Amino acid sequence: MTDPTKTIDPKQRAARVLIVDDSAIVRQVLQAQLSRQPGVEVVGAAADPIAARERILALKPDCVILDIEMPKMDGLTFLRKLMKFHPVPTIICSSITPKGCGLALECLEAGAFEVVSKPGGNFSVGEVAVRLGELVRAAAHAQPQKPSAAATIPVLAGPAVTTASPAKTGAPPAVHRPGLAEKLVAIGTSTGGTEALRIVLAALPVDVPPIVMVQHMPEGFTKAFADRLNGLCKITVKEAEDGDLCLPGRALLAPGNRHMRVVREAGAGGARWAVRVADGPRVLRHKPSVEVLFESCAQYAGRAAMGVIMTGMGNDGATGLLSMRKAGALTVGQDEASCVVYGMPREAALCGAVQVVSPLDRIAKQIVDFTNGALTAQAA
């Protein structure tokens, strides 16, 4: 497990954060816990967005921690106003409810830095505080987030194939292209990754290999996120369930609080890839873990796979991507300029796992080139 304090420069000014939550208890607990985190200074708290506005203007925090459901003005409306008139990196700290999940995703689209679940269930107060501390420090020095614009993403053209109309109910479109099912694309990402995945997946044509993905998100949010992507993309996107098949034109997203692995199994039409979704200890402090997914791809897919590591904090997936490269896979890392947080791709590059360094807006094209055989590990 990485010690987050080891990456902190003692000479660097502490990241200043404002807490906005209508619960006095939550404000008190978060303030007490965050005050213990190295490199973090809690400069104030507010019970609603109206009070928060005045404190932001007066205190000029580096970062805001924001609840969603509050009196006088909901967090999403406040965030949109904040991003328009006085942009400040904002972390959403919300309870996991169906309504909360949907609103949290809208917050990410509106420019929120990250979403964190409030303490309870799978995460203790201390664990949430450590995670928030890391995010506050990262947000204070991150690339600014911009509201998404889904309609501006063109879909790349793929080779002529015979396909059925995409069924947006979880079943992938029928893709008739020899050899497509024999390839596999694995993607890992974290902070900033919801927007990065949207940009990449929305640009893909239907005729792409099976895609498996890990995005660090709390349990409950991954289902809502997969459903939202499914409505934006030509390919089918769904939250993975144990035993789901990896099929062309389908992207499977690892569920929150579960690891996802790729396996090769026998089927009626021959060998095929499927996913195994299971509980287990956190790996590199995450569940799901990119490392777990990439190591399984190295084991079962080898040179038939493409691994992509994108924006995110920490080092999850770095050595897994190196295993994929050693097994003959093509490996791609997002470049620093287009990352919200250049953490995971940086660690992967430093350990020699990355063959191709790519800006975010070219990764979809590289997946298409990999599909067509125009980009391979040998040619990279």
State the catalytic residues. 190, 216, 316
- The DSSP secondary structure of 62-130, one letter per residue, reads SEEEE-SS-SSS-HHHHHHHHHHHS---EEEEE---HHHHHHHHHHHHTT-SEEEEPSBTTB-HHHHHH
Using CA atoms, how far residue 12 sits from 90, 133, 135, 137, 183, in Å, is: 21, 15, 16, 10, 46
* Helical pair 193-202 and 98-109, crossing angle rounded to 10 deg: 80
Torsion sign (Cα): 4, 5, 10, 16? positive
Which residues fall within 8 angstroms of residue 7, CB to CB, at 6 or more apart?
A: none
Cα(first)–Cα(last) distance of the chain, in Å?
A: 32
Question: Residue 306: beta bridge partners?
Answer: 185, 330
The Cα–Cα gap between 45 and 17 comes to 9
Question: What type of residue is 261?
Answer: R
Residue 30: closest CA among 153, 117, 143: 117
Q: Which two tokens stand for residue 240?
A: 């993975």
Tell me if 38 sits within 8 A of 65, measured CB to CB.
Answer: no
Q: What is the distance between the alpha carbons of residues 212 and 238, in angstroms, rounded to a whole number?
A: 10
Q: Which of 358, 356, 333, 359 is nearest to 346 (CA)?
A: 333
3-state secondary structure 207-219: CCCCEEEEECCCC
Quote the tokens at residue 156.
């790349």
Burial class (CB in 10 A: 0-12, 13-18, 19+), 25: exposed
* One-letter identity of residue 88: V
